[in-house]
Amino acid sequence: MSVRRALPAVPLLLLAAGPWILPRDLVTALLFTFLLITLASNYDLLGGFLGLYNLGQASFFGLGAYVTFLLLLRVPLLAALGPAGSTVAALAGGAAAAISAVLLAYPLLRLRGAYFAVGTFALLLLLRLTVDNLPQLTGGSHGLYVSAQHYLSLRAAYLLTLSLAAASLLLNALLASSRLGMAMTAVRENELAAAAAGVDRFRVQQVAFVLGATPTGLAGAVFGLHSGYIDVSVVLGIERSLFPVIAAMIGGSGLVWGPVVGAVTLRAIDVALKNYMQLPVPAPAIYGGILVVMSLTMPKGILAGLTRAPQAAARSGSPAPPRPARPRTR
């Protein structure tokens, strides 16, 4: 039992040794994969458990990055502290994402279904506009730089993003068998019945929203400190928001490992197309084509397609991916 539980730690330790044994470009590729895994599993905390499709996941990524940078640039004490200052600023970036999720839950969670998806997407657009139009504060379209003393080395960034990805996965796995996870599944399945059984729908969704925003905010901070430069298109990019959704859906939404499979697949296709193939047509066209074929052949995701998800989910106690209620059988 305890051996079985410790098994995932083995590949984790191997991965942690990556920066010392792997070539540099592969380390970078993995770092970006970890970022996508983090965002995709954070997205799926709402998308998979609650059936709330957050198209603005990047809002929290951007918030984390911008708050971190602004603190380092505007607070002399933090700047003077060097790496310790970066740590404090990055944690503050994560906290900023969490706090804004607490507050944003009030307007956004009044929305249901497609309206929630559109509302979260609008939030991302709103943040992009705000940052673009406050150049004195945010650098506008020129972006922001931090001084070299705050840069995160490739190794440090790699280990931090790996930890964030692992923590996000662990969070989803623990939720699947927890009290809160049961409440989330109940709310997804039937809000009316959940309320009648004593579940506080809003509070449950709000907690999930915050849990899904915090690692993403920290990931934004780490990403920013690693690259040393942020702007709207990088940390608040539309594709930054949509790729986690695609990763979760391609991999298998509602399954703990689904976003991982999806993220690795997406990154692999991306790297292969852009770096190793001489294409007669633009890479995104091929990319899109592959995604269309995959979603047609495995509509519930790769993992669900491979494992016949309903049975696997019932055994492990994790919820099956959301789908419309079946008609009565008898």
Partner 1 sequence: MLEVVQICKRFGGVTALDRVSLTVAEGEIVGLIGPNGAGKTTLFHVISGFVRPDGGRLRFAGREVIGLPPHRICHLGLARTFQIVQPFTQMSVVDNVAVGCLFGRRDGRTDVRQARDAALRLLDLVELTGVSTLPAHALNLSERKRLEIARALATGPRLLCLDEAMSGLTTAELDRMVHTIRRVHAELHLAVLMVEHNVRLVTRTCPRLVVLNYGQVVADGPTETVVRDPRVVGAYLGTRSGAGA
Q: Which residues bind partner 1 (CB under 8 A)?
A: 177-179, 182-183, 185-186, 189-190, 192-201, 310, 314, 319-320, 322-323, 325-326, 328-330
Distance separating alpha carbons of residues 246 and 40, to the nearest angstrom: 8
Q: Which is nearer to partner 1, 183 or 250 (CB)?
A: 183
Q: What φ, ψ does residue 65 adopt, rounded to 5°? A: -65, -50
Min CB(195)–partner 1 separation in Å = 4
Min CB(275)–partner 1 separation in Å = 41
Distance separating alpha carbons of residues 249 and 252, to the nearest angstrom: 5
Q: What φ, ψ does residue 98 adopt, rounded to 5°? A: -65, -45
Min CB(210)–partner 1 separation in Å = 19
Q: Which is nearer to partner 1, 112 or 323 (CB)?
A: 323
Which residues touch 25 (CB under 8 Å, ≥6 apart)?
none
Instruction: List the helix and strand counts (H, then E) for the chain.
Output: 19, 2
Min CB(193)–partner 1 separation in Å = 4
Min CB(178)–partner 1 separation in Å = 7
Q: Which is nearer to partner 1, 186 or 211 (CB)?
A: 186
Q: Which is nearer to partner 1, 153 or 178 (CB)?
A: 178
Min CB(310)–partner 1 separation in Å = 8
Residue 277, classed as helix, strand or coil, is coil
Write the burial class of residue 107 (CB in 10 Å: 0-12 exposed, 13-18 middle, 19+ buried). Answer: exposed
Distance separating alpha carbons of residues 226 and 23, to the nearest angstrom: 18
Q: Which helix (H) or strand (E) holds 144?
A: strand 144-145
Q: Which is nearer to partner 1, 186 or 294 (CB)?
A: 186
Q: Which is nearer to partner 1, 108 or 320 (CB)?
A: 320
Which residues touch 147 (CB under 8 Å, ≥6 apart)?
79
Q: Which is nearer to partner 1, 3 or 192 (CB)?
A: 192
Distance separating alpha carbons of residues 201 and 188, to the nearest angstrom: 9
Write the burial class of residue 106 (CB in 10 Å: 0-12 exposed, 13-18 middle, 19+ buried). Answer: exposed
Min CB(208)–partner 1 separation in Å = 15
